[in-house]
Amino acid sequence: MTTRPSGAALDQLRRAISTIEHRDSPCGRARVGGARFSTGHAPLDAALGGGGLPGGALVEVRAEGGRDTVGSVAVALGLGAQVLRARPGLGVWIHGRRAGDDGLPHAPGLAAAGIAPGRMLVVGPLAPDLLLWAAEECLMAGGVGALVLQPDIAPGLVAARRLLLAGERCGAPVLVLGDPRLAPLAPARVRLEVRTLPSRAPPWWADRRPAGWMMPVGAPRWQLQVGRRGAGAPHEMEVEWDHGTHRFRDGSGLAHRTPGLVVGSGQHGRAA
Amino acid sequence: MLVTHERSALRITTACARARKAGAIPGDALSDVRARVPALVVAHADPAGDLAALERLARRMRRWSPWVKPVTEGTVHGIALDITGVAHLFGDETGLVSDMTTTLTGAGLAGARIALAPGFAAAWALAVAGRSACIRVDSQRLVPALAPLPVEVLRLPPAIVRALRLAGLRTIGHVLAGPRAVLGHRFGALVGTRLDTLMGKVRDPLDPLPHRTRPHAVRRLLEPVSALEALQALAGDLAADLATRLQEAGLGARRLSLRLWRGGGVDLQIDAAASTPEADAGRLARLLCHRLEAGADRLDPGFGIEGGLLMACDPVRRAARQVDLDPDAAERAGAREAARNLADRLRARLGAERVRRPRLNDAWLPEDAEDGPGGTRPADIPALVQPCQMAPGRTRPTLVYRPPEPAEAVAEAPDGPPRLLRWRRQILTIVAADGPERLCPPWWRGHEPTRDYYRVETADGRRLWVFRAGMYGAPADTAVPQDLGAPPPPSGARWFVHGRFG
């Protein structure tokens, strides 16, 4: 007669096997020890799974509903900048042939976003097969702090799985910019859907609005839907980029030009 | 005229004929000579640079003889060549001298003096003090040719030369006529030795410049191979041999040239580059293997590769590395090293133009503010954990379009921000704007118009970096942005979208 093991015993056994399987890889240590990279915004960290962006995992960043994809690129860069603050190594951006539609990285802009341009390696434009080869090579080589992948076509299941294994070995988060018109990346542990929002008005704008002046442009602001594999419905939040600290911060509140509203105030701005 | 700092004053070391005629004598203080001749053109002497240039010239003169040596006596510079057995390659000695004269004149050394004599000392004496610029003397006519030359050509110490002159022995002929025993007793044995050397009685061998060869490795195969794996194995063996030689010499190679010998006398050449001088066999082999893989489609081994030659094109001395005892610093150094190796491998496989490390330049125009596609410039990846500091006040987009994309705008003249923008077949309403930030091209690119940059936000939240090239109402021909790929403008101002803020 055999006895069925209890659920707790099975969980313990699974954890032990996982530790043995991954004990030699940085990601194994990451899973056991919990290597996470904070984004500077506690609700976003919590939505990402507690502690921030997971190391050694695929993170898909997509534009919501096929809209303008530049917002997702900017969010991916912001997340990459957070990782590079905490982790030594290069920030590698590998892009396909269509990346020029969104624009290519600009050294002064990277510096303004808190990323030392000398720490960045921009690789491309590459055909899809070379792009995956380069990504895997980077992750297997070591010396990579964060990897941003901007492919023309979504990697297949096998390629994505290979990327995941290489990422686990390296310990760096792999940020894959997804095409909103295609199916989501299956092995991604975290998926962010990005929608660009209008920026908020500066606090002084409503009181001292000079006649005939246009409102100044505020900090970049996005709506994020953060979904985690096996964690239920995605969290929705609004964040904006803090140029002073080079981190994400709360961006909730109404934009400066929501029509027809008189009441309602955000953290810094006021509805017009 | 050249001067050098000597005995608390700038003193003349070399003066041209016109300066000498005007009263500039080597050894005089520059201030004294300037008082007499104010319009003097003066430069500082560079003896080390002169010697280096002389050595370079001597190496180039190996085309006439492999036995070459640069010689310097005081302010006179010369090059000694042993032409034993080489004159027939140029017809005869006359042909050799003619070829030499033509080449040196073509190189801007028309004033060079050439002398051919049975020994180096005699040739030097004739070249320095001979009557004509080109003298050829055989052993029979050596004494009459040397006799009228001054005793300075014996290359004796100045005190002995002075003593000889005081004794009335002013030329070689005077010295030769005197009894040898008395000469040796009164002026020292060196005079007799130098005289014998001059007359060719004592051998005066040249100590030639050593040959400099680039470190290289050669392998010949027993049978031709054509498979990529076999070629990679050959490259690995060559890399191991070359690495051993580089390590023995304390050198590192930044550029490698692999020549594969294909049957039929046609070679295949593959170049590889590293960002730092490398002497590690594994890394050199990986670079070559990546290059072979990348060019596998175009690599035609024909009937097989029979061997190869791997050469370090620009070997440089490798600096010793300090081992850091701080574990954190050691980890950072390891990360830098890994990053450099990764960049090299990617460049080898994908091509240098596809692997770019952005770099800030101290310039305002966006095109000039960063380096273009990076080649194999020396890698000095900065500290990998320190954030970069950006000059305050500059707001720059993370993403830019190269080149900027033309747009049409409705804007207030003369320098208002755009209110409506037509870009990529879309009409965008601008609801927020910052600017203008006026950027002017450098004065030496005067044909380019000034640019007024604006940070604008559209109604749907897109944040763009746009600029107006030229001014409203300005003549159209001065406002054409030549390098932006735009059609000829109908008016003086053109709008472009240059970047995105996310």
Q: Where are the domains of chain B?
A: 2-45, 64-198, 216-384, 399-500
In a domain, A261, yes or no: no
Largest CA distance in chain A: 88
Residues from chain A that touch B434, judged by Cβ atoms under 8 A, are: 216-217
Residue B94: how many CB atoms within 10 A of its CB? 12
b/e per residue B462-497 (b: at least 16 CB within 10 A): bbbbbbbbbbeeeeeeebbbeebebeebeebbbbbb
**C-alpha–C-alpha distance, residues B116 and B152, integer Å:** 19
Closest Cβ–Cβ partner in B339, B357, B461 for A198:
B461
Q: What is the pLDDT of residue B393?
A: 53
Q: Is A95 on the interface with B (CB under 8 A)?
A: no
Q: Do B339 and A214 touch (CB under 8 A)?
A: no
- Which of A37, A68, A70 is the best substitution to test chain B (most B C-beta atoms within 10 A)? A70
Contact B90, B123 (CB under 8 A): no
Contact B10, B31 (CB under 8 A): yes
Q: Residue A160: which CATH number?
A: 3.40.50.300
- Is CATH 3.30.1490.100 the classification given to domain B216-384? yes
CA distances to A75, A247, B16 from A171, in Å = 20, 22, 70
What are the pLDDT tens digits along chain A (272 aa)? 456 667 778 778 877 776 666 555 544 444 444 588 888 889 999 898 888 888 888 999 998 876 678 889 999 999 999 999 888 888 999 999 888 788 888 888 888 888 888 888 999 899 998 999 999 999 988 788 899 999 988 888 888 889 988 988 888 899 999 877 777 777 888 999 999 998 888 877 777 777 777 888 888 999 999 988 777 788 899 999 988 888 998 888 655 554 433 333 333 433 33
In a domain, A23, yes or no: no
**Architecture of the domain whose range is B2-45:** 3-Layer(aba) Sandwich (3.40)
**C-alpha–C-alpha distance, residues B339 and A91, integer Å:** 10
Residue B371: closest CA among chain A residues belongs to which residue? A107
| Residue B185 token pair | 């007793």
Q: For the packed helices A128-141 and A157-170, what is the interaxial angle rounded to 10 degrees?
A: 20
Stretch 39-78 of chain A: residues touching chain B, C-beta under 8 Å: 68, 70-71, 73-75, 77-78
Angstroms from B376 CA to nearest CA on chain A: 13
Residues from chain A that touch B389, judged by Cβ atoms under 8 A, are: 111
Stretch 116-135 of chain A: residues touching chain B, C-beta under 8 Å: 116-126, 130, 133-134
**C-alpha–C-alpha distance, residues B143 and B162, integer Å:** 23
Q: What is the pLDDT of residue B480?
A: 47
Q: Do A106 and B345 touch (CB under 8 A)?
A: no
Q: Do B399 and A105 touch (CB under 8 A)?
A: yes
- Which of A123, A192, A239 is the best substitution to test chain B (most B C-beta atoms within 10 A)? A123
Quote the ipTM score.
0.80
Q: Is A89 on the interface with B (CB under 8 A)?
A: yes
**C-alpha–C-alpha distance, residues A106 and A11, integer Å:** 48
**C-alpha–C-alpha distance, residues B35 and B57, integer Å:** 37
| Residue A222 token pair | 């996005």
Domain of A163?
33-250
Q: Is the peptide bond before B487 cis (omega within 30 degrees of 0)?
A: no
**C-alpha–C-alpha distance, residues B34 and B10, integer Å:** 11
Residues from chain B that touch A145, judged by Cβ atoms under 8 A, are: 384
Contact B467, B494 (CB under 8 A): no
Angstroms from B454 CA to nearest CA on chain A: 10
Give the distance, in angstroms, between the CA of residue A260 and the centroid of all CA atoms in the same chain.
34
What are the pLDDT tens digits along chain B (502 aa)? 888 887 788 888 888 888 888 888 888 888 888 888 888 888 888 888 888 999 889 988 888 998 899 988 877 889 999 988 888 888 888 899 899 988 888 888 888 899 999 888 999 999 988 888 888 888 888 889 999 999 888 888 889 999 999 988 899 998 888 888 888 888 888 888 888 888 888 887 788 888 778 899 999 999 999 899 999 999 999 999 999 999 998 899 988 999 999 877 778 899 888 888 888 999 899 889 988 988 887 888 888 899 999 999 888 888 777 766 777 777 777 777 888 888 888 888 888 888 888 888 777 888 888 765 433 333 334 433 333 444 445 688 989 998 899 999 988 878 888 999 999 888 999 999 987 888 888 888 777 888 999 999 998 888 999 999 888 876 655 444 445 555 544 557 889 999 998 7
